[in-house]
Copies of this chain bind each other. A is one copy, B any other.
Amino acid sequence: MSPEPYSASLTRDPLSTEEASRWLQDSTCGAIHLFCGVVRDLNREQTVTRIEYHSHEPLALKSLEKIVAGLVESGATKAIAIHRLGMLEVGETSILLGVSLPHRKRGFELLERGMLEIKSEVAVWKHEHYTDSPPEWIEGS
C-alpha cells in the first residue's frame, strides 16, 4: 500500500520548511512551492506581541485533509499542510502549505487557493496578545 500523496497535521512544535520540502520531493517533480504564514507584529493597528492558536482539533484536521486532498486532485503531485497550535512569538510560522508538481505554472494558483480555503474552513482561532491592551479573539479573516 502506497502512502497518500497528501498530508495534513496539527502540531505544537516549530514548523520546518526543510522537512516539508523533503516530504514533497518526488523524482517526477520540477517544482516545489512553499508558503509560510508568520506571526507579524502588527494587526488592525495594534502591536502584537504573540498569538495563541486554538483549535477544534478533529474538525480542523479533517478540513485541512480535505484541502490538501483537493490540491492533489487539481494537479499537485503531493501536497502538505501543517498548522501550528499553542503560543507563538512574532516571526514564528503558524501555517505551512506546500505542493510539488512536474511544472511550476499551476503551483502558484494551487497554493493561493489552498490558503484561501484554510483561512475560511479550518477551525483554528487566533487569540492575539498586544503590548497595550488585553488579548482579543480574532474571528473571521
Which residues of A are in contact with B by a Cβ distance under 8 Å?
16-18, 21, 25, 27-42, 90-91, 93, 100, 102, 104, 107-109, 111-112, 115
Asked if B36 and A35 make an inter-chain contact with CB atoms under 8 angstroms apart, the answer reads: no
Q: Which residues of B contact A25 (CB under 8 A)?
A: 38, 91
Asked if A91 and B37 make an inter-chain contact with CB atoms under 8 angstroms apart, the answer reads: no
Asked if B18 and A102 make an inter-chain contact with CB atoms under 8 angstroms apart, the answer reads: no
| In the complex, residue of chain B having the shortest beta-carbon distance to the beta carbon of A42 | B28
Asked if B34 and A34 make an inter-chain contact with CB atoms under 8 angstroms apart, the answer reads: yes
Please name the 4 residue pairs, one residue from A and one from B, whose CB atoms are nearest each other, closest first: A17-B17, A32-B36, A30-B40, A34-B34
Q: Which residues of B contact A108 (CB under 8 A)?
A: 108-109, 111-112
